[in-house]
Amino acid sequence: MRGLGHAEAAENSIHLSYEIVALTPTCARRWIELPAEEAKKPYVEVSGRKGFGVKADDLIDRLETAALSKCNSGTRR
């Protein structure tokens, strides 16, 4: 960021590195449309460049909806 002339933004940013974030093909299909070659793999690497990912807001919305549904149904499992 600093190299692009955004020194203040660079000062206020923290980079969190990680090795790999992956989803099973079954899980990935719930969130994204998978190309056939990706669906054959044992796991799908999350990649913003490829458009494979889950937005945190979408995940939270689905979790809230599922939890509310369970609470309203009286199901404990």
22-49 burial, b at 16+ Cβ within 10 Å, e below that, comes to ebeeeebeebbebeeebeeeeebebeee
Residue 71 has pLDDT above 80, yes or no: yes
In tens, the pLDDT along 1-48 reads 889 999 999 999 887 777 788 889 888 888 888 888 888 999 988 888
Which of 2, 29, 34 lies closest to 15, judged by CA?
2
- pLDDT of 77 reads 61
Which of 10, 16, 22 lies closest to 54, judged by CA?
22
Query: Would the pTM of this model clear 0.85, i.e. be above it?
Result: no
Helix (H, G, I), strand (E, B) or coil at 45: strand
